[in-house]
Structure 1
Amino acid sequence: MSVSCKKYLDIVPDNVGTLDYAFRNRNEAENYLFGCYSTMQQLAEVTRNAGFTTSSEIVYPILQAHFFDESGFNLIRGVQSSGNPILNYWGGTNNGLSMYKAIRRCNIMLENIDKPIDLGEPEKKRWLAEVKFLKAYYHYYLIRMYGPVILIKENNPVDVDIEATKRKRATLDESFAYVLSLINEAIPDLPARIENRTTEFGRITKFMAMSVKAEMLITQASPLFNGNPDYTNFKDKDGRSLFPATYDAQKWRIAADACKEAITECEAQSLKLSTLVPSNGIGNVSDELKSILSLQAIVTQRWEDNPELIWALNYGFGYQGYTIPKLTSKSVSMANTYPSNWAVPISTTDLFYTDKGVPITEDKTWDYANRFTPQIGDDAHKHYIKQGYETAKTNFHREKRYYADLGFDGGIWFGNGIVDEDKAYYVQSRSQFAIGGPKSLNSTNVTGYWPKKIANYLSTMDENFTAVDFKLPLIRLGGLYLLYAEALNEADGPSAEAYDYIDKVRTRAGLQGLVAAWQAYSKNPSKPSTKEGLRQIIHQERRIELCFEGQSGWDLRRWKELQDVLSRPMQGWSIYEANAVNYYRPQTVVIPVFGLRDYLWPFSSTDVVVNENLTQNPYW
């Protein structure tokens, strides 16, 4: 953790004697401001981020040894309950955070901001804007999980009657209207950029807030929340409909405008798609491998050096020991400390395009039927696959993001202490149960695929493990471009502008333009010309581009596609087989359980009993 980040991770103690003390001067009030940030910083913990753990991108096995609280990963196994909800962000229990505690802290800051006599007016305006943003974001996080929420616009007085504390849920439209009003109030008074990066880097800026606003509006316009027929009859105890009954296409137009405004502000502050090639720790490396490292660096380079990263959090990604395979004999000895067992199911790897830039099921030049057949690594793929090594045909002729994001049997894994491509490691997952392989099932990758994208190439796992820190993005420019394309398509159908913003991302990934690629190589050449076809393309593009970044789980929810994705068994290779023919036979590793009720979180049954005005979510 850098020195400049430490302040923002400090949590204001609950036992501060009086509010007068907490706001007696500027310095004390600034500490309270950082306390308002503290809950947000804890959201960087990916194992309690449903967008990460329920995305279907990573499978975590059920083990006897518990390396962390894996309950978030187990949500796809149907273990959610109203008795003790997992990732309970409403009440802050069971691997959750208390968002309402964070909101109350923000309210205290807003109520007492005038007390420090040495706090200048310009700084006060900025602090107010930051706290309003945080208050909006905490409410928004709850909306994504629970739908309509209780709006805490002001804290209750200490001596309030107990019945007054039993607040009702606002409607969904009221909930979104409130968070958007807060963020609109905040944006004008936020700084355009952070001038003092040594002491303030990580605090909220105008372009961050505008980008979050765009995401909020996209979420409001999406199928889960926009005229969802599953919630037509969902009413509170007074008979109020909590969800909008009809679809409102205008919400997409409003979201598109917000996306464009955010993009304009980001680009005005010199943000751009990152094409930087890392230079640290790189020796003899081909241009082909440099392009792979450039794609990896979009996520794993330092936030301060990343021209694309709109917003991240100050906590680093702490799980590289789960994403890097055992590449050396010495690393095997750390199997029970750094188990390398975050496994990517075949369904996630199938999302990635062929090298022609179209899905593997649609590419008329790609041998989909024989994709599990073993094939020897050849000279044409030597920068991605070990030459002479037998691997699956599915690993050949794939787009560059496939090789940047995934570790697979026979795949080149540059780094881990090796700086020259000619000496680079390659993954040998078929040997993981051979002599010298992992010593326990705890360290076994159950599918034979690793999420390489979230492992820094400078991190090393050998006799010792050294992780080079990075921050996982919350929003980056490539994702914002795709949000804009999505909103444009939903508002008006396919357009040259929507294609252009998709192609900005595709071009950076080394792919041909969308329309040209489909016309030349797809079995469905007209697919990009229809709203439904382009919708499918944009959804797949986002799932590829933002894979392993904690975004897809939220996307699949708002699209109402998660139930379909989790209706099929998650598979991997037959990992106990050493022979390639036998190894490359898919086997089921998890049968997900996800029903209609799981789109929204349940409230704890205790909360519903204590507050009789709190209406439980549908189907729970």
Structure 2
Amino acid sequence: MKKIAQFICVVVVVLSGVSCKKYLDLAPDNTGTLEYAFRNRNETENYLFTCYATLQQFANATTNAGFTTSGEIIYPNNLTKHPIDETGFNLLRGSQNSSQPGLNYWDGENSGQAVFRSIRRCNTMLENINKPVDLGEGEKKRWIAETKFLKAYYHFYLARLYGPIPLIKTNLDITASTEEIKVKRAPVDSVFNYIVSLLDEAAPDLPPVIDNQAKELGRITRNIALSVKADVLMTAASPLFNGNPDYTSTQNKDGQKLFPAAYDPAKWQRAAIACKEAIDACEASGLKLYTFIPPASIRVLPDSLRTVLTLQGAVTEKWEQNSELIWALNPTFSWQGYATPRLTQKGVVNIFSNPSTFAVPMSIQELFYSDKGVPINEDKTFDYPGRYSLKTGDDANRFYIAKDSVTVKEHFNREPRFYANLGFDGGIWFGNGKTNLNDMYHVWARGIESFAGPKDVNTLNITGYWPKKLVNYQSVYDDGFQEISYRLPMIRLAGLYLLYAEALNEANGPTAEAYLYIDKVRARAGLKGVVESWTDYSKNPGKFGSKEGLRQIIHQERRLELCFEGQSGWDLRRWKELQIVLSTPMQGWNVYENKPANYYQPRTVFTAIFGLRNYLWPIKDNSLIVNGNLVQNPYW
């Protein structure tokens, strides 16, 4: 057995070019034999949970490329102290390289990024699942299905980052030759097809939902598998991987092409079918769009705030009570204090629980619609040229903006998702211990250093906008500390609806069914349907009638609905739009100033560095030396 473990270690070394300290993390500690790991049902279940281990570590938002490189949140890079791993955020500042790649999931240089190791654990599980004699047939089928899902998802995680990857279908035999160990990359279509085949094998033997949530919440269900399949096929059909002319010359050293040369429209139809299958399964299980139900302690709640709390709760509600949450990872979201402004002087004391440093650039703020449900630069009733002029809060807007608070005009007359997603100077912050409509907090963002005491960049939000959506309204960071934990969604029903609408439009152009699924999401957000909103209020009233126009609408709708959830970064990559989005300088308000006229002056915080090569991650140079069959990604 020791020889087997050593051989697997050699394979990891050849693939990644890193040392192998301990490949088999088995229970109990210091016992590294497969005979022990699969001697009975209990030990086999322990091994199944080691297959889940890397998946759970994906819950760390700061090492999630979809979260850190989306352009939705800026993290300051000039702090006097560095309390978090800033690698992912710094990638947008041009730090990515092939000698020591940031967020290096190919080599797995820390346990949370050891994805190839986790794939091999899954293979080991599948190869030994028949050994425990006390394992019932029903449980065995479920565990096999869970393992196949995990194996598929680990391949998918790597494919989104690297494109063509080696397919680790089985662990190599100890008699394998050196050339067999030196794996090569598989064509990207083969990668996606293999992932889908694993998900198809897994889905029938998975439970539709988790019945015993106290013991099993977080384990894989059929709804999860079908939803991930839809996501995989949407990714495969998207411009980054479907006939991308930037990659057509990329090939293995033997001349094998790694990307398809031509665009295949049939991929969208296949994705649409998968999306609808996932939606039907989820709805049959009772999933529906979330609606906030006020607790007994909130006796009066205006419709405007109810909608805001519904939109926040779709993300921050407990999994067990969230009617639209399809999948989340078990570790709770641990960054609420980074997304919360310091609402009073008392909050300043909570420097460790309330750093307040997740800053949202102005470009994201301006992405949200007007209250007419169209982009603010398209709304013929919105004063877009005068959006930076000053305006004072009044009674009509008191549940969004504090009365008598001076702010800019563009903070008025916006859609409910604007107020649910963003904290801004003068904006109402319902919660944090206060739910009385006559005594609510509002954000004070002007002259932060004077409000917080001595200037300390370690406590500064550098744009004047906070990702409010990431904070449970019941969490308290003021007089005391009480964090109401939640799990950041991986997939929720609203996102699945918009995936389906996107696939329908790409496959067939604008249709009534595509509008229907967009409008389901818009209605929950307090907006009228696409056709009505654009017809009545847009300067481009026929936009929804063409495939290209509806594509723009759907893409913006997904970015708004799923903002700050770690989804937009992946979407913008597969759409090949991230380079365009990041070409706009990251701006915020002049946060050191107290007077409104001085504070409300846009200033550039930094300019992102993102080129064509950054759509795919580089493979570490040393890995290419160790394994001569590997080729580098384009432009690195």
TM over 0.5: yes
> Aligned to 2:127, what secondary structure does the other structure show?
helix
For 2:32, which of 17, 26, 45 is the aligned residue?
Answer: 17
For 1:595, which of 590, 608, 611 is the aligned residue?
Answer: 611
Give 1:464 deviation, angstroms: 3.2
Specify whether residues 145 and 15 from structure 1 end up closer, same or farther in structure 2 by C-alpha distance, changes over 3 A only.
Answer: farther
Specify whether residues 191 and 557 from structure 1 end up closer, same or farther in structure 2 by C-alpha distance, changes over 3 A only.
Answer: same
Specify whether residues 318 and 436 from structure 1 end up closer, same or farther in structure 2 by C-alpha distance, changes over 3 A only.
Answer: closer
- Matching of residue 296 in structure 1 with residue 317 in structure 2: no
For 2:424, which of 404, 408, 416 is the aligned residue?
Answer: 408
**Partner of 1:55 in structure 2?**
70
- Matching of residue 384 in structure 1 with residue 409 in structure 2: no
> Aligned to 1:311, what secondary structure does the other structure show?
strand
Give 1:161 deviation, angstroms: 3.3
Could you give the per-residue CA deviations for residues 266-319 of structure 1, whole angstroms, max 9, x where no partner exists? Answer: 000000011123427535432321221111110001001101000000010001
CA contact (8 A) 1:207 1:265 kept: yes
Could you give the per-residue CA deviations for residues 20-57 of structure 1, whole angstroms, max 9, x where no partner exists? Answer: 11111111101111111111011000000000000110
**Partner of 2:117 in structure 1?**
101
For 1:340, which of 356, 372, 388 is the aligned residue?
Answer: 356
**Partner of 2:500 in structure 1?**
484
- Matching of residue 30 in structure 1 with residue 32 in structure 2: no
For 1:140, which of 145, 156, 163 is the aligned residue?
Answer: 156
> Aligned equivalents of 1:142 and 1:109: distance in 2?
20
CA contact (8 A) 1:335 1:439 kept: no
CA contact (8 A) 1:336 1:442 kept: no
> Aligned to 2:242, what secondary structure does the other structure show?
coil
Give 1:227 deviation, angstroms: 0.1
What amino acid sits opposite 2:41 in the alignment? Answer: R
**Partner of 1:448 in structure 2?**
464
**Partner of 1:216 in structure 2?**
232
- Matching of residue 467 in structure 1 with residue 483 in structure 2: yes
> Aligned equivalents of 1:184 and 1:434: distance in 2?
58
What amino acid sits opposite 1:608 in the alignment? Answer: L
Give 1:433 deviation, angstroms: 2.3
**Partner of 1:3 in structure 2?**
none
> Aligned equivalents of 2:195 and 2:325: distance in 1?
23
> Aligned equivalents of 1:42 and 1:11: distance in 2?
17
What amino acid sits opposite 1:495 in the alignment? Answer: T
> Aligned to 1:211, what secondary structure does the other structure show?
helix
**Partner of 1:262 in structure 2?**
278
> Aligned equivalents of 1:223 and 1:281: distance in 2?
49
**Partner of 1:353 in structure 2?**
369
Specify whether residues 264 and 187 from structure 1 end up closer, same or farther in structure 2 by C-alpha distance, changes over 3 A only.
Answer: same
Specify whether residues 137 and 11 from structure 1 end up closer, same or farther in structure 2 by C-alpha distance, changes over 3 A only.
Answer: farther
Could you give the per-residue CA deviations for residues 176-211 of structure 1, whole angstroms, max 9, x where no partner exists? Answer: 111111111111111122122221121111111000
> Aligned equivalents of 1:433 and 1:366: distance in 2?
34
Give 1:158 deviation, angstroms: 3.6
**Partner of 1:536 in structure 2?**
552
What amino acid sits opposite 1:521 in the alignment? Answer: Y
CA contact (8 A) 1:88 1:96 kept: no
The alignment-based identity, stated in percent, is 61
> Aligned equivalents of 1:193 and 1:247: distance in 2?
37
> Aligned equivalents of 2:276 and 2:413: distance in 1?
35
Give 1:496 deviation, angstroms: 0.2
- Matching of residue 162 in structure 1 with residue 178 in structure 2: yes
Aligned residues: 611
**Partner of 1:496 in structure 2?**
512
Unaligned runs of 5+ in 1: 1-9
Unaligned runs of 5+ in 2: 1-24
- 1:59-458 mapped onto 2 (5 Å cutoff): 59-62=74-77, 63-93=79-109, 97-279=113-295, 282-335=298-351, 338-437=354-453, 439-458=455-474
> Aligned equivalents of 1:507 and 1:481: distance in 2?
13
CA contact (8 A) 2:54 2:112 kept: no
Give 1:13 deviation, angstroms: 6.7
Give 1:445 deviation, angstroms: 0.6
> Aligned to 1:421, what secondary structure does the other structure show?
coil
**Partner of 2:623 in structure 1?**
607
Give 1:348 deviation, angstroms: 0.4
> Aligned equivalents of 2:611 and 2:396: distance in 1?
45
CA contact (8 A) 2:27 2:43 kept: no
> Aligned equivalents of 1:192 and 1:211: distance in 2?
12
> Aligned equivalents of 2:127 and 2:32: distance in 1?
17
Q: Which segment is superposed worse, 10-19 or 195-204?
A: 10-19
For 2:527, which of 503, 511, 535 is the aligned residue?
Answer: 511
Could you give the per-residue CA deviations for residues 499-544 of structure 1, whole angstroms, max 9, x where no partner exists? Answer: 0000000000000111000000000000000000000000000000
What amino acid sits opposite 2:559 in the alignment? Answer: R
> Aligned equivalents of 2:148 and 2:29: distance in 1?
21
What amino acid sits opposite 1:130 in the alignment? Answer: E
Specify whether residues 382 and 241 from structure 1 end up closer, same or farther in structure 2 by C-alpha distance, changes over 3 A only.
Answer: same
Task: With the length of structure 1 as denominator, give the TM-score of the two structures.
Answer: 0.97
Specify whether residues 322 and 450 from structure 1 end up closer, same or farther in structure 2 by C-alpha distance, changes over 3 A only.
Answer: same
**Partner of 1:524 in structure 2?**
540
> Aligned to 1:453, what secondary structure does the other structure show?
helix
Specify whether residues 470 and 11 from structure 1 end up closer, same or farther in structure 2 by C-alpha distance, changes over 3 A only.
Answer: farther
Could you give the per-residue CA deviations for residues 434-472 of structure 1, whole angstroms, max 9, x where no partner exists? Answer: 254474111111000000000011111124332110000
Q: Which segment is superposed worse, 527-536 or 94-103?
A: 94-103
Task: With the length of structure 2 as denominator, give the TM-score of the two structures.
Answer: 0.94
> Aligned to 1:475, what secondary structure does the other structure show?
strand
> Aligned equivalents of 1:271 and 1:21: distance in 2?
41
> Aligned equivalents of 2:495 and 2:313: distance in 1?
15
CA contact (8 A) 2:126 2:144 kept: yes
CA contact (8 A) 1:278 1:293 kept: no
